[in-house]
């Protein structure tokens, strides 16, 4: 997977209630959810989503990103907003799992999460295992996923993985 975009940088413990507030959980359409993504934390991000400006941008965050609820609406909103991937120091477990399942690339890399500057152009290449802050000229190595998770990702997400199991002769 290759991605390139502007870094939207956040701190620790960005929880699912700010990623997509509960008042919007009475909808499940991705495009509708995206229009309210991060509304309570960074209205500038939400405005950029609505204006169609998040094309391939990258969220860069501290520890425990996505903590709180299991609501899949959170990674769905981020994916539908145009975000190409999320780099964080660490992820909360249900959120991490949800991202793998829906095919939103997430990378746990504390050094890159710390080192990338907000607003800089970032490039990610998971096959090569590299993250680059193009504006600063800095680079970090990223670990790959365990083989089992690679399998789900390569299949295209959990639904595709399920189809491959169900369709086995």
Q: Interface residues with another protein (CB under 8 A)?
A: 13, 15, 17-18, 21-23, 25-28, 40-41, 63-64, 67-73, 75-76, 90, 92-94, 97-98, 101-102, 146, 148-149, 152, 157-159, 161-163, 165-167
Q: What are phi and psi of 45, to 5 degrees?
A: -65, -50
Q: CB of residue 3 vs another protein: minimum separation in angstroms?
A: 22
CA separation for the pair 163, 142 (Å, rounded): 30
Gap between the terminal Cα atoms of the chain: 30
Q: Which two tokens stand for residue 79?
A: 């994916």
CA separation for the pair 68, 132 (Å, rounded): 30
Q: CB of residue 5 vs another protein: minimum separation in angstroms?
A: 25
Q: CB of residue 134 vs another protein: minimum separation in angstroms?
A: 30
């Amino acid at each position: 997977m290759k991605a390139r975009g502007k870094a939207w940088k956040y701190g620790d413990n960005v929880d699912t209630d700010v990623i997509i507030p509960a008042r919007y959980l009475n909808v499940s359409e991705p495009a509708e959810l995206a229009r309210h993504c991060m509304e309570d934390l960074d209205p500038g991000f939400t405005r950029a989503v609505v204006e169609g400006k998040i094309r391939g941008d990258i969220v860069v965050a501290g520890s425990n990103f996505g903590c709180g609820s299991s609501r899949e609406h959170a990674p769905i909103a981020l994916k539908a907003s145009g975000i190409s991937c999320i780099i964080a120091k660490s992820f909360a477990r249900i959120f991490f799992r949800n991202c793998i399942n829906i095919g939103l690339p997430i990378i746990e890399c504390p050094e890159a999460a710390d080192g990338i500057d907000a607003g800089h152009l970032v490039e990610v290449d998971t096959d090569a295992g590299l993250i680059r802050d193009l504006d600063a000229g800095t680079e970090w190595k990223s670990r790959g996923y365990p083989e089992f998770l690679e399998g789900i990702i390569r299949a295209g997400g959990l639904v595709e993985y399920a189809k491959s199991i169900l369709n086995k002769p």
